[in-house]
Structure 1
Amino acid sequence: MTSDDSAPVAAPTRQRLATSVRDRISAGVLEPGTRLSERELCEDFDVSRTVVRETLRQLEAEGFLTIEPNRGAVVVTVSYADAEQMFELRESLEALACSLFAKRGTVEHKQALWEVIDGIEAAIDDGDLNAIIDAKAAFYDVLLLGAGNEQLTSTLRLLRVRINLLRRYSLSLPERHPETLAEIRAIRDAIIAGDVDGARRAGEHHVQQAARAALPRIFEELYRP
């Protein structure tokens, strides 16, 4: 078989492997600093080492991994400066999404928003961190759908894994959960009322409060003796 003949087969295989690694990083199964074994990936997914290496290079280009000399592929670690900058970026982009949703969201979008917030509340009641993070991801999916801006959606989805890494710091604090619910309900209420400025402010406030909770924990984890 020629290399041209194998390309259509290799492409979906790489995509399947890349999706699985992204999902594991996003869910916290692969924690920051974890080294990925090429041999284990070959065995787990029944693929060649060439496919694994191509996939790892793709994930490095997307910002999920770094490829280090003598260590291979390692899940990215978020520095304190990275975290600060990510929260600044999130504040602007998510506030924009909230305001656009309030401006142009349909009745169906608003109904979906109400439902996903009910899902967040149920996940918080169960106390399952992974379920809470999944429910928050569903909230942002609906938020972006209602915002109706494909470029904004693409940008935030590229950042999703790094955002989820930060989200774990704030949402792992039980005392943060009631605040989170109150903040996203404020976003919902402003959107449903068509209050564009109010939705933007509520979105900004939510990210600011998440940063307030997460950044001290990140600093302590990285720099405490």
Structure 2
Amino acid sequence: MQSPAVLRKPDTLRSYVENYLRESIMEGRFLPGQRLVERELCELLDVSRPSVREALRKLEAEKLIVIVPHRGPMVASISAQEARDLYAIRALMESYAVQEFSRLASNEQVSRLEATVKRLHIEAENPDRRRLLKAKADFYDVILGGCGNALVSEMLLNLLSRISLLRATSFSRHDRLPESLKEIDQLFALIKARNPEGAREAARLHVVNAEKAAMAVLNQEDTAPIAAGK
């Protein structure tokens, strides 16, 4: 029986490979610094090498992978400075998007957002972190879909993969998740009350706190090899 990938049209096949690799990186199946061997990816996905190479080029443009001389493609690592820069952009864009969503979203969109918040609480009890990250992504998808600014949505969606990597890092601090859920509950309450200014500030603080948690984890990772070598 043929693999579903073999039956896909060329354009769909390219998207299939890109999406698989992107999601695998975002969800931690491929780790920072890990080599991505074209032959192994071809066998895994049952696709041709050109399809894999095109997907890798796209992910390189998104800064999810880097091409290392003599080693080939590898999953990108994020430095502490890059993380700080990304969180700064995220705070500006997301706080604005939340403000505009609170102001412009329909009642139906607010109800959809409430459903994603409830799902976040459910997935917080699930040991599969990938489902939790997907639930958080769905939360932001609703906000971006109702903020009324296509450019902000496009820019944030282009950063979504790297933001998800950092979000996964911040969740790895054991006490961050309960804090994050409380912040999201407060954020949603302000949105539901149609308080744009309050929602904007709550969104900014949520990102600031996520940055603190992620930076603490990144700093630990940076010092771990030194400690191991003592």
Q: Alpha-carbon deviations, 1:122-161, whole Å to 9, x = none?
A: 1112343222211111111111122122211111111111
Q: Which amino acid aligns with 2:90?
A: R
Task: Tell me how many residue pairs correspond in the alignment.
Answer: 218
The CA deviation at 1:14 is 1.7
Counterparts in 2 of 1:148-159, with a 5 A limit? 148-159=148-159
What is the percent sequence identity of the aligned residues?
36
Q: Alpha-carbon deviations, 1:50-92, whole Å to 9, x = none?
A: 2322221122112211111111111110011111111111110
Q: Alpha-carbon deviations, 1:189-221, whole Å to 9, x = none?
A: 111111111011000010011111110110121
Q: Hey, what does 1:111 align to over in structure 2?
A: 111
The yes-or-no answer on 1:58 pairing with 2:58 is yes
Scaled by the length of structure 2, what TM-score is found? 0.90
Q: After TM superposition, where is structure 1 displaced by more than 6 Å over at least 4 residues in a row?
A: none
Q: Hey, what does 1:199 align to over in structure 2?
A: 199
Q: Which amino acid aligns with 2:124?
A: I
Counterparts in 2 of 1:1-225, with a 5 A limit? 9-224=9-224, 225=226
Q: Which amino acid aligns with 1:131?
A: R
Q: Hey, what does 1:5 align to over in structure 2?
A: none
Q: Hey, what does 1:4 align to over in structure 2?
A: none
Asked if 2 retains the 8 angstrom alpha-carbon contact of 1:80 and 1:215, the reply is yes
Cα distance in 2 between the residues matched to 1:127 and 1:11? 35
Asked if 2 retains the 8 angstrom alpha-carbon contact of 1:67 and 1:73, the reply is yes
The CA deviation at 1:9 is 4.5
Q: What stretches of structure 1 of length at least 5 have no aligned partner?
A: 1-7
The CA deviation at 1:95 is 0.2
Q: Which amino acid aligns with 1:92?
A: L
Asked if 1 retains the 8 angstrom alpha-carbon contact of 2:190 and 2:196, the reply is yes
Asked if 1 retains the 8 angstrom alpha-carbon contact of 2:173 and 2:217, the reply is no
Q: Which amino acid aligns with 2:118?
A: D
Scaled by the length of structure 1, what TM-score is found? 0.92
Local SS of the residue matching 1:159? helix
1:17/1:175 CA distance change after superposition, 3 Å: same
Q: Which amino acid aligns with 1:86?
A: L
Cα distance in 2 between the residues matched to 1:35 and 1:64? 12
Cα distance in 2 between the residues matched to 1:31 and 1:112? 33
Q: Alpha-carbon deviations, 1:8-31, whole Å to 9, x = none?
A: 943322221111101111111111
Local SS of the residue matching 1:66? strand
1:81/1:194 CA distance change after superposition, 3 Å: same
Local SS of the residue matching 2:25? helix
The CA deviation at 1:173 is 2.4
Asked if 2 retains the 8 angstrom alpha-carbon contact of 1:129 and 1:172, the reply is no
Cα distance in 2 between the residues matched to 1:58 and 1:122? 34
1:78/1:195 CA distance change after superposition, 3 Å: same
Q: Alpha-carbon deviations, 1:83-106, whole Å to 9, x = none?
A: 111111111011011101111011
